[in-house]
Amino acid sequence: MAEPRRDFTPEEYRQRIERIRSVMAEKGLDLLVISDPSNMHYVTGYDGWSFYTHQAALLAMEGDPVWWGRGIDALGAKRTVTMDDENIVGYEDSYVQNPEKHPMETLAALLKERGWDKGRIGVELDNYYYSAAAHQSLTSNLPEAQFADTTGLVNWQRAIKSEKELEYMRRAARIVEAMHKAIVEKAEPGMPKNELVAEIYRTGIMGADGHWGDYTAIVPMAPSGMDATAPHLTWDDYPLQNNESTFFEIAGAHLRYQCPQSRTLFIGKPPQKYLDAEKAVLEAVEAGLEQAKPGNRCEDIANAFNATLNKFGFVKDNRCGYAIGVSYPPDWGERTMSFRRGDKSVLKPGMTFHFMPALWLDDGGLEITEPILITETGVECLCTTPRELFVKG
């Protein structure tokens, strides 16, 4: 039988937990109920497609974390988490999607059993996976506990990546490079979009440099023509057209570590406004990268980018980047720092971002983006994909 997969050493998990507990102590917390699957994975190693049911990692101020979730998924926990089996607790299946009772009733019972029902408990209130009904059930069944909103507490401890995490992200970078290369090679006028996306998926899952490709936290965004005036449309069977742009917002992934990168393909001869937009974005990206160094702030990158972009007559009124790392659907961002005016988060070595200077024009879109790492002396672009508007035909 294959041994359980261990992506990191016990020492790395111990260091992560120490950092989290330090913040817990500052906030006077006795227990964290961690519902975000990315945070669960970060703390325990748990890895399974089970986040459509209620589950959590429980972290007290002492002892190992506890995994709690659907009973059949406890088997997956035994194959992935770092804890012993006594810290893996599954609930009975009749609690799954049953309007007559709620899984949080079993979590409340577990907290009472472990003596965690009278302290100050942190929950991720503004998280995709912690519902209003879950909070209502948990709080009503733990009347002696105090609850605090700890949304983002674990996310922020993930900001600075370890060397092993960066190794996985660089593997993901090689994968997304291969995906963009496949797009340029395979795309032809008349090719149905779904066929091209199938090639993107195949390349991404086959991996690169001997490392397999994981599923990404966001599906490929691949709108063409007028659809590309909007940022978050996916694909259909629309045939690629001459004299039309298609942007590809995709990611490589390895061991759940995400490396997103976008490029734009124009089939035919690009009109001058696309060439002007390309020139503006490329110079603005360089200006932003010059500010991407330790001690500067997230807003310094955004301000430099936008100032340069504005000189060319273009305006971007949304953020131009965000933190990335390990992630599960529906988002590959870490939901902490953003490149935008007013974000005064200090850049530190080991932080990773998707520098996302996308433009949506009146008849299409232009996305030329870079995943970046803040180093001791400046910035490293994780990918080597040519930074340009791809033109074919």
Note the pLDDT of residue 2.
65
Mean pLDDT across the stretch 223-249?
Answer: 95
Q: Give the whole-angstrom CA distance, residue 35 versus residue 49.
A: 14
Phi-psi region of 152 (alpha: psi -120 to 50; beta: other; left: phi over 0): left
Q: Each residue of 257-287: b (16+ CB within 10 Å) or e?
A: bbbbbbbbbbbeebeeebeebbebbbebbeb
What are the structural domains of the chain? 10-157 (3.40.350.10), 163-392 (3.90.230.10)
- For residue 226, pLDDT beyond 70: yes
3-state secondary structure at position 12: helix
pLDDT, tens digit, 9 for 90 and up, residues 34-75: 999 999 999 999 999 999 999 999 999 999 999 999 999 999
Looking at residue 30, the DSSP 8-state letter turns out to be S
Q: Each residue of 149-161: b (16+ CB within 10 Å) or e?
A: ebbbbbbbbbbeb
Please name the residue that has the structure tokens 């990692």: 57
Q: Which of 196, 165, 135 is nearest to 41 (CA)?
A: 165
pLDDT, tens digit, 9 for 90 and up, residues 339-392: 999 999 999 999 999 999 989 888 889 999 999 999 999 999 999 999 999 999
Inter-helix orientation angle 37-44/10-26, to 10°: 120
Kindly report the pTM of this predicted structure. 0.96
Please name the residue that has the structure tokens 């629309």: 238
Mean pLDDT across the stretch 288-304?
Answer: 98
Mean pLDDT across the stretch 310-332?
Answer: 96
Note the pLDDT of residue 284.
98
- By the 8 A CB rule, do 78 and 45 touch? no
pLDDT, tens digit, 9 for 90 and up, residues 120-159: 999 999 999 999 999 999 999 999 999 999 999 999 999 9
Amino acid at 31: L
Inter-helix orientation angle 132-141/104-113, to 10°: 40
Q: What residues have CB less than 8 Å from 129, skipping those under 6 apart?
A: 35, 36, 37, 51, 54, 55
Mean pLDDT across the stretch 222-231?
Answer: 93
Q: What residues have CB less than 8 Å from 38, skipping those under 6 apart?
A: 155, 158, 256, 325, 326, 327, 328, 334
The mean pLDDT of the chain is 97
